[in-house]
Amino acid sequence: MSESTIHGINHVALRVSDMATSRDFYVELLGATVLRETERFIFLRAGGADFLALFPSDEPHIEHYCFTVEDYEPDDAQRCLEELGLTVHRREDRVFARDADGAWSSCRASDRTTTSSPPWDVRTSRPVSSVE
């Protein structure tokens, strides 16, 4: 994974106190477009292939962020992070770990975007499939 190159931010997932207010802020003030909206989450296109994911919460915060990475191989990424002593969570080709300050981060291949189901259980704020 050390030879991989970050190409940008694939997405940022936010926990927000009011889904409609947050959606309207990003759409009306910043020009984002709605990709998918349910009562559990809203995905907003934030330019190019980047997107913003909104999830309801009584405690607003950044849920996680995801880098788009060239030459990304999930198995290699997981092995590298585990060798560094990090606890890794995996769902399909997404590998999640906490950064140096404890924020959840993840990586995706540069030729993919995530617009289907969220990788996090919106009830528990935990990865859907974890390696704990």
- Note the CATH number of domain 9-66: 3.10.180.10
pLDDT score recorded for residue 116: 40
Domain boundaries, given as residue ranges, for the chain: 9-66, 69-109
Residue range 12-30, pLDDT digits in tens: 999 999 999 999 999 999 9
- Cβ pair 68, 80 in contact under 8 A: no
Lowest mean pLDDT among 16-25, 61-70, 122-131: 122-131
Q: Which residue has the tokens 């759409």?
A: 27
Q: Do the Cβ atoms of 49 and 41 come closer than 8 Å?
A: no
